[in-house]
Amino acid sequence: MTPLVRLLGEGFRAFFLAAGLYAVLAIGLWTLSFVVPVPLPEALPPVEWHAHEMIFGYGAAALGGFLLTAVPNWTGAKAARHAFIASAVGLWLAGRIAVWCAGILPLPLVAAVDLAFLPLLAAKIATQLVRRPKPQNVMFLGLLALIWTANLFVHLEWMRVAAATALPGLHAGLYGLVAMIAVLGGRVTPAFTRNAMTRAGRETALPRSFARLDAPAIAAAIALPVATLAAMPPAIFGSIALLAGAGQLARLAFWRPGFTLDQPILWALHLSFGLIGVGLILTGLAAFGLGAPVGALHVVAIGGVGGMTLAVMSRASLGHSGRPLVAPVPVALAYVLLPLAALVRWAAATYAGIALPATLAAGALWSLAFLMYLVALWPVFWGPRVRTPAE
């Protein structure tokens, strides 16, 4: 089997590699644009291009890799074949190229190409969920539809079909990813921690989840993108964000984060989930005029979404390739760099005097983190599965 065939044989390989490469490329170019001329898409506002590509480019790739890998395990359905993975990656890449060429291509064509990936992913997931259509899994189709709708809002303004829909669409897309993490992270973080504790011989004081706590916390997280698209008043949106943030932190408190301190592959999950909660609380406070909204947004985006996707992508890549669930040193360092990038970017939005150098530093930290991820896991994406048990 050639490396390319192997790469396209499993969803996590192709999409987690694509996500890492795009994380470096997109943020690298964005950061460079602050100091030297960079040919960003001329037809689009640069800030909107930056946000769009991280949410619907990087974020969608991370989602694709996870769902194409996890759903067959949940349902017992056959995994996607090489042809589908190749087509899906090609369509995702076509969306990135189309957005980049927005000044050359007709904007309706840009929208059509960019909006095509998530429906293809959702259709594939739906065929796999049919085997075991549990409500807790079928809900992911609804969340994908919500993220897709947010992207549609962005394109409607870019095509000048509607006014003032791009910014709500971008924010709703980010909060849609947060809702995904509230559900998925709320499953895997305590489960992986419990497994590690059990392997270590711990039989008591294991991570616990409570339906009465999970349900309102997840509902609030899902309500955030809906409230954003519906243009709810700041007081309502802020209240939902505060509830969602406090709910995630309350859930995390019962997952035994203290046990993970000597295991980067575990504490990265806990820390990122915690930053989702902190970022949402900062977002809620900013809606009431307390703090910088842009700073809060980047705590959620960099520390929360970026950190959680990095943690999940690296763990899944190691586990599904038969390798031990121990983060390589470069990946463990990357886990540290992303929260630091979030803190620096929050400072850039909060303190005007350091805005430019702090923004540059945050971009450099993000790019370095994903470069280390790529270097460490490059053989995993292209190489054969090893015989060493992952558990």
The tens digit of pLDDT for each residue in 16-30 reads 999 999 999 999 999
Pairwise CA distance, residues 203 & 370, whole Å = 36
Dihedral sign, Cα of residue 356, residue 17, residue 307, residue 102: positive
Q: How far is CA 168 from the centre of its chain?
A: 18
- The tokens for 242 are 């505060």
pLDDT level of residue 15 (50, 70, 90 thresholds): very high
Looking up tokens 């007709």 gives 106
DSSP SS3 for 208? coil
Looking up tokens 């997952």 gives 255
Pairwise CA distance, residues 11 & 82, whole Å = 9
Residue 219 has pLDDT above 50, yes or no: yes
DSSP SS3 for 104? coil
Backbone angles phi, psi at 134, to 5 degrees: -75, 140
pLDDT value of residue 40: 86
pLDDT value of residue 130: 83
The tens digit of pLDDT for each residue in 333-389 reads 999 999 999 999 999 999 999 999 999 999 999 999 999 999 999 999 999 998 754
Residue type, 236: I
Q: With contact defined as beta carbons under 8 Å apart, do 270 and 317 qualify?
A: no
Q: What is the pTM of this model?
A: 0.96
Pairwise CA distance, residues 196 & 201, whole Å = 9
pLDDT value of residue 76: 85
pLDDT value of residue 75: 86
Q: With contact defined as beta carbons under 8 Å apart, do 16 and 62 qualify?
A: yes
Pairwise CA distance, residues 78 & 246, whole Å = 38
Mean pLDDT of the chain: 95
Residue 390 has pLDDT above 70, yes or no: no
Alpha helices, H only, 101-210: 107-114, 117-129, 135-158, 166-199
Task: Sort 219 into a burial class: Cβ within 10 Å, 0-12 / 13-18 / 19+.
Answer: middle
pLDDT value of residue 389: 46
For range 301-322, the mean pLDDT = 97
For range 185-191, the mean pLDDT = 95
Q: At what angle do helices 211-229 and 166-199 cross, to 10 degrees?
A: 160
Q: What is the 3-state secondary structure (H, E, C) of the chain?
A: CCHHHHHCCCHHHHHHHHHHHHHHHHHHHHHHCCCCCCCCCCCCCHHHHHHHHHHHHHHHHHHHHHHHHHHHHHHCCCCCCHHHHHHHHHHHHHHHHHHHCCCCCCHHHHHHHHCCHHHHHHHHHHHHHCCCCCHHHHHHHHHHHHHHHHHHHHHHHHCCCCCCCHHHHHHHHHHHHHHHHHHHHHHHHHHHHHHHHHHCCCCCCCCCCCHHHHHHHHHHHHHHHHHHHCCCCHHHHHHHHHHHHHHHHHHHCCCCHHHHCCCHHHHHHHHHHHHHHHHHHHHHHHHCCCCCHHHHHHHHHHHHHHHHHHHHHHHHHHHHCCCCCCCCHHHHHHHHHHHHHHHHHHHHHHCHHHHHHHHHHHHHHHHHHHHHHHHHHHHHHHCCCCCCCCC
- The tokens for 111 are 């929208």
The tens digit of pLDDT for each residue in 141-164 reads 999 999 999 999 999 999 999 999
